[in-house]
Amino acid sequence: MCGIVGYVGNKNAQDFLVSGLKRLEYRGYDSAGIVTVSKNGEATLIRAKGKIVNLEEKIAKEKKDDKIGIGHTRWATHGEPSEANAHPHQAGSIYLVHNGIIENYKDLKETLKDFKFESDTDSEVLAALIDSFYDNGKHPLVNAVVQALKLVKGTYGIAVISKNNPEEIIVARAGSPLVIGVGKDETFLASDASALVGHTKRAIYLNDGEVARLTKDSIEIKTLNAEPVSAKVEEIETNLAAIQKGGYDHFLLKEIMEQPESLVETLRGRINAETGVVKLGGPGLTDTELRKIKHLIIVGCGTAYHAGLLAGYYIEQFTPEITIETVIASEYRYRQAYIPEDSIALIVSQSGETADTLACLREIKKQGVKTIGIVNAIGSTIAREVDGGTYVHVGPEISVASTKAFTSQVIAMVMFGITIAQAKGVRAGALKPYVDEIVKMPEEIRAVLNEVNDSMKTVAGNYKKYEHAIYLGRGTAYPTAMEGALKLKEVSYIDANAYAFGELKHGPLALVDDRFFEMVLLPEGELYEKAVSNVQEVLARGGHVVIITNSDEFDLEVENVVKITTSLKLFAPILMNLVSQLFAYYMTVAKGYNVDQPRNLAKSVTVE
Ligand code: M6R
């Protein structure tokens, strides 16, 4: 979604702002803009609809050597994508960039009768409000910002500069992340630490309710109630290689291919291959607390939700006396759901910033239930607000479609489940098959990726002409099929839906015709024969079937069989998901769509 960058120092601000915005491109946006101010108070505001390259073309005609500025990528919420609606917004002598939503903007607008609004955005209302308190420099800018924010209902991460004092940037946050980069004689700002990589390793993550005044050599942070805050400087762990394509054509393929390594990072120091013991420090639960757990709520959106569903299928296999409920965050936050005693909530999010997931976390905490984060982005809001957590450590995921995070989220949750089972006294022998397969999984992933990568290009090409797909699976293959369908639809725009195979006869079988193809996940195991019968039902109705299987037994005549070779039995569906990921990738390449930034989507959904 929207991105913010800012710079004050001795270097060219335009250069940093553009490079920073490019780093945030992956979050999704439809217009972009920057403003810089010269020493003598001349502002250069440049905005463009569409991609950053359009903005760059305009900047090339108005090159400046200003040393302070702010920039923004906008993902439209109020008002269509257009130059007028792009940020920064100007009001008098101030300029503002804003992430989030000002819910009471209509009421506030009513109070600003004299201001001539030029956009349809809620953000411009905030700029005008700040300007009204600033009164052309009669009051310190930071005070004007605080006064305005006290009237605001909604979410924001903002940065404000004024032509009157081109030495300071005022920033504030409530619900939309901001990271301040601490440099030598320069201070950076971004809504995502990836924009700071290569410029500084030292970062301060602003908290909700805080406002900061940044100059090139000082950072003063206070709460909106003027209480001073002593900021904690943290290290940015990401390196440049992690946010570059590294020889791949697209981040999506890079991220699919790096799963052997990213899963190793998830497992590092947490699982003992010899003893089979799993130890997670982050959740901070004692054995007594783990033993007491009777109910798990797993909360997430999109891929994180699917990871929770799949992990739930596994955890209930080996953990006694436990019920598991995996919920969609945007639904759960408005339900009147009863949470039984002795529950623990797993809050699953790659970005750690998803608005609905964050809202659930806060609701669940209010009910006194302990929350454990299964998060990737270090220092993100969810990671900071949960009671404990297990980072999945897969490194930055840049492509909008989530891939490596899914695999590691599932395994991190399964490992958490194993710690519960261990504490509840489940024999090591019963857990060993799971532990053994998890330990082997990175190499099994590598082998399967090598085995199927080339052939998936061809298989995807065969189905390019279809507009509809049905993904099918039973047991653990069912949530995996759901994830496969999501991957295909979000990047290739093929209408794909997943069904539990047993549900087919209850409705979806009516769909089978020449407009559809059916992608079947068929792992060996106790449900194999039943699933094969289901395949026959589809074939009998003229289905166009692709089978992904680890079985040597499959002998029905279908259009394509993607055979994976693996010693994994329990977790074979996770390997089948790699096939679905590659299928979605090659389908999108074949169709010539934007692989890493599918239309209408954002990487991190920070608004409801
Ligand atoms: O950052 P999160 O894991 O909280 O994001 C949740 C979903 O927005 C995300 O998984 C989304 O569904 C992806 N585009 C799926 O590939």
Q: Which domains does the chain have, with CATH numbers?
A: 2-243 (3.60.20.10), 251-591 (3.40.50.10490)
Question: What six digits make up the tokens of 331?
Answer: 């639904």
pLDDT of residue 315: 98
pLDDT of residue 604: 84
**Residue ID of nearest Cα to ligand 1 atom 4:** 349
Question: What six digits make up the tokens of 215?
Answer: 């100059």
Question: Which backbone phi and psi does 274 adopt, to 5 degrees?
Answer: -75, -50
d(CA 104, CA 151): 9
Interior CA angle at 253 toward 250 and 257, to 5°? Answer: 140
**Residue ID of nearest Cα to ligand 1 atom 12:** 302
d(CA 288, CA 457): 51
HSE-up of residue 314 (Cα within 13 Å, Cβ side): 31
Q: How far does residue 350's CA lie from ligand 1's centre (Å)?
A: 7
Question: Which backbone phi and psi does 35 adopt, to 5 degrees?
Answer: -135, 135
The one-letter amino acid code at 533 reads S
Pocket test for ligand 1, best of 298, 301, 585 (most atoms within 8 A of CB): 301
Q: How far does residue 392's CA lie from ligand 1's centre (Å)?
A: 14
Q: How far does residue 575's CA lie from ligand 1's centre (Å)?
A: 20
pLDDT of residue 118: 94
Q: How far does residue 126's CA lie from ligand 1's centre (Å)?
A: 29
Q: Does the beta carbon of 360 lie inside 6 Å of ligand 1?
A: no
Q: In what order do the strands lie in the sheet containing 323-328?
A: 323-328, 295-300, 343-349, 370-375, 388-391
Pocket test for ligand 1, best of 351, 353, 403, 406 (most atoms within 8 A of CB): 351
Closest atom of ligand 1 to CA, residue 406:
10
Q: Does the beta carbon of 357 lie inside 6 Å of ligand 1?
A: yes
Q: Which residues pair with 218 in a beta bridge?
A: 215
pLDDT of residue 47: 97
Question: What six digits make up the tokens of 49?
Answer: 């609809």
pLDDT of residue 472: 97
Q: Does the beta carbon of 302 lie inside 6 Å of ligand 1?
A: yes
CA 561 to chain centre: 32
Q: Which residues pair with 90 in a beta bridge?
A: 95
d(CA 458, CA 462): 6
**Residue where the block lists tokens 């090598």:** 450
Cα distances from 252 to residues 155, 264, 301, 459, in angstroms, run: 30, 19, 19, 18
| Catalytic residue IDs | 2, 603
Averaged pLDDT, groups of 10, the chain, 608 residues long: 94 97 88 97 96 95 97 88 94 96 95 93 96 94 98 95 97 94 97 93 94 97 95 87 90 97 96 93 95 97 98 96 97 93 97 95 96 94 95 95 98 98 95 97 98 96 96 98 98 98 95 96 95 95 96 94 97 98 98 94 85
**Residue ID of nearest Cα to ligand 1 atom 9:** 302
Give yes or no for a contact between 372 and 214, defined as CB atoms under 8 angstroms apart.
Answer: no
pLDDT of residue 240: 82
Q: Does the beta carbon of 91 lie inside 6 Å of ligand 1?
A: no
d(CA 14, CA 69): 7
pLDDT of residue 93: 96
Q: How far does residue 302's CA lie from ligand 1's centre (Å)?
A: 5
